[in-house]
Amino acid sequence: MSLGWSVWPQGLTSRLVLVLVLVMTAQFLVAGLLISGDESKIQREDIGRRIAEQVTVAERLIESVPSGQRRELAQALSTQHLEFRLVDEPVSRAAGRQSEMLRYLEADIFAWEPSLQEAGLWIALEDRKELSLDSYLTGSVEIGDGSWLAFRTREPVTNWRWAAFTLLRVGLVAIVIFGTAAVLVRTLNRPLVRLAESASLIGTDARIHFDEKTGPRELRRVSEALNAMQDRVDDVLLQRTRALAAVGHDMRTPLARIRLRIARIEDRVEREAAEHDVEIMGHMLQELLEYFDTDDPAPRTRTDLASLCRTICDGFEDLGNPVGYSGPDRLIAQVHHVGLRRAIENLVDNAVDHGTSRGIVLRADDDMIRITVADNGPGIPEEEFQRLMRPFERMDKARGEANGGIGLGLAITARVAELHGGRLVLRNREPNGLAATIELPVCDEPSA
């Protein structure tokens, strides 16, 4: 995976925040550098003006007194910002260092007091401590009697702390703005998140109404489009279901006539083969109609699930296929009775077809009811679980055709579980066999 994919976030909110952070960071860095540069310029001009004024005043005062008093007067003229002393020779230029900042400062001094340039003033920077970023100004100017007035600043003229403090202030402002922007972006993105969550339910049993009245204009238009799309999809599905159901019902009459004609076949072998084929066709037709019936379930009714499971077990036992039951003697729930019975019978049918031992286990807790049909058959590869719960999917096509199935048994069961707000869960047993569990959320109130 490339670095770009590992750093670039997946969520829209995270991407917007990241873009804002990058843009605003660049903006504040540039602003911080500009502000720091302006403050440095202001500070430099202030230092230049102060040095020019104090050196000029000191020079003139010293020249106005007798030579014997000049050294003492030079020391007396020192301030908290600038230290003066009278020397016989100019301070060596090798004592300091030159820099671009120093040239600007020199220009500021001469701009304030041009006479200092004529007096031979020079300045340099000196570092008084090792490993220190602070630099001090030193220099000298010639006095009329051939002596020199040396001076040096008591405070650093390249004070990096001002730049750091400026960047710190800008950084704190940036953090506050970043936090505010993140909250605002998250708030603005919340309707889009809700829209995505609701859109993910399209195609399920839930009918989602997207709000067309509130939110940004673009989201309202998307909501209108999604509502219209749902109407079109529902209309297409309804027409398809009605058409196929009508065909399925109409096919019953031709099948009944075929059965009557088959009964007149004298050859027993041919007659039994034809009857078997018609029986398979009838089973396929019934399975198809049952699948379509799940699209329009009857209202939920109060049902004793324990009694329902035992009744199903008794029905299969009457046909010579014993099915065990394990669970409470009584368990009342609001369910789609016909649909749930059909779903359980489909699971038991599969267990009878593929196992020699089968049973129904009913369990319930405060939140969920679980109906498990287990067998000791060969099981199903786990990678096939999801595929086999889709309509018209079979594990073994040839075996499905022999049993008269068209791959709707598990699809019907999964559909019924979804109508109850639950799901169908498949699990292989050890050492062999399959356990199919219908999970139903507990529902105390009847509903359509």
Question: How many other CB atoms are there within 10 angstroms of residue 271's CB atom?
Answer: 14
Domain boundary among 243, 268, 296: 296
Where does the pLDDT of residue 3 fall: very low under 50, low under 70, confident under 90, or very high at 90 and above? very low
Q: Measured between alpha carbons, how far is 84 from 74 in angstroms, rounded to an integer?
A: 6
> Is the pLDDT confidence value at 2 over 60?
no
Position 385 in a domain: yes
Which pLDDT score, from 0 to 100, does residue 329 have? 94
Judged against a pLDDT cut of 60, whether residue 85 lies above it is answered with yes
Q: Does 98 have pLDDT greater than 60?
A: no
**92 confidence band (pLDDT: 50, 70, 90):** low
- With 50 as the cut, is the pLDDT of residue 4 above it? no
Looking at the structure, do residues 262 and 341 belong to the same domain, yes or no? no
pLDDT band at 405 (very low <50, low <70, confident <90, very high): low
CA angle 352, 355, 360 (to 5 degrees): 65
Both 210 and 272 in one domain: the answer is: yes
Q: Does 185 fall in a domain?
A: no
Residue 438 has a pLDDT of 95
Which among 271, 296, 321 is the end of a domain? 296
The C-alpha atoms of residue 108 and residue 86 are separated, in whole angstroms, by: 24
Residue 193 falls inside a structural domain: no
pLDDT band at 126 (very low <50, low <70, confident <90, very high): confident
The pLDDT value given to residue 296: 59
Same-domain pairing of 271 and 349: no
- Do 23 and 54 belong together in one domain? yes
* Mean pLDDT of the 124-139 span: 73
Mean pLDDT of the chain: 79
Distances (CA, A) of 210 to 182, 218, 230, 428, 448: 26, 13, 10, 40, 22
| pLDDT (tens digit per residue) in 226-239 | 888 878 887 877 77
Residue 448 confidence (pLDDT) above 60: no
Residues 309, 266 share a domain: no
Mean pLDDT check: name the lowest of 76-80, 103-107, 278-282: 278-282
Same domain, 284 and 312: no
Helix (H) or strand (E) holding 334: strand 332-335
The CATH code of the domain that includes 100 is: 3.30.450
- Do residues 256 and 286 share a domain? yes
Neighbours of 320 (CB within 10 A): 7
Q: What is the pLDDT of residue 144?
A: 73
Q: For residue 203, name the pLDDT band (cuts at 50, 70, 90).
A: low
Same domain? For 32 and 69 the reply is yes
Average pLDDT over residues 294-322: 87
Note whether residue 447 is domain-resident.
yes
Integer-rounded Cα radius of gyration of the chain: 46
> Across residues 36-51, what is the average pLDDT?
76
Question: Which of 42-51, 153-162, 185-194, 298-307: highest mean pLDDT?
Answer: 298-307
User: What does DSSP say about strands 324-326 and 358-364: parallel, antiparallel, or unpaired?
Assistant: parallel
**pLDDT value, residue 162:** 61
Instruction: Tell whether the model's pLDDT for residue 325 goes beyond 90.
Output: yes
CATH classification at residue 266: 1.10.287.130
What is the mean predicted confidence (pLDDT) over 401-425?
78
Would you say residue 102 lies in a domain?
yes
Say if residue 340 is in the same domain as residue 288: no
Q: How does residue 412 score in pLDDT terms, banded at 50, 70 and 90?
A: confident
Residue 142 falls inside a structural domain: yes
- Residue 145 reports pLDDT greater than 50: yes
- Write down the pLDDT at residue 399: 41
Specify the residue for token string 């359509």.
448
The domain in which residue 285 lies consists of: 201-296
- Give the pLDDT band of residue 132 (cuts 50, 70, 90): low
**pLDDT of the residue at 332:** 93
How confident is the model over 392-404, as a mean pLDDT?
Answer: 55
Query: Domain ends where: 133, 161, 189?
Result: 161
> Cα(216)–Cα(289) distance, rounded to whole angstroms?
45
Model confidence at 375: pLDDT above 90: yes
What are the backbone angles phi and psi of residue 92, rounded to the nearest 5°? Answer: -60, 135
Residues 6+ apart with CB under 8 A from 141: 55, 59, 116, 119, 120, 121, 148, 149, 151
Q: Which of 385, 412, 400 is nearest to 284 (CA)?
A: 400
Tell me: do 305 and 215 sit in the same domain. Answer: no
Kindly provide the b/e burial profile for residues 54-69, where b requires at least 16 CB atoms within 10 angstroms of the residue's own CB: bbbebbeebeeeeeee
Can you tell me the distance from the alpha carbon of 303 to that of 339, in angstroms, rounded to the nearest whole number? 12
Q: Is residue 45 part of a domain?
A: yes
**Residues 6 or more apart in contact with residue 414 via CB below 8 angstroms:** 389, 423, 424
* Residue 72 buriedness (CB in 10 A; 0-12 / 13-18 / 19+): exposed
Query: Both 156 and 206 in a single domain?
Result: no
For the segment 269-298, the average pLDDT, to the nearest whole number, is 73
Q: What is the mean pLDDT of residues 329-350?
A: 91
Q: Is pLDDT of 42 > 90?
A: no
- Beginning with the edge strand found earlier in the chain, give each strand of the sheet holding 358-364 in spatial order: 324-326, 358-364, 368-375, 434-441, 423-428
Q: At what angle do helices 160-199 and 12-63 cross, to 10 degrees?
A: 170
Number of domains the chain is built from: 3
What pLDDT is stored for residue 161 in this prediction?
64
Shared domain for 352 and 426, answered yes or no, is yes
Q: What is the mean pLDDT of residues 2-23?
A: 65
167 belongs to a structural domain: no
Q: Which residue has the higher pLDDT, 445 or 195?
A: 195
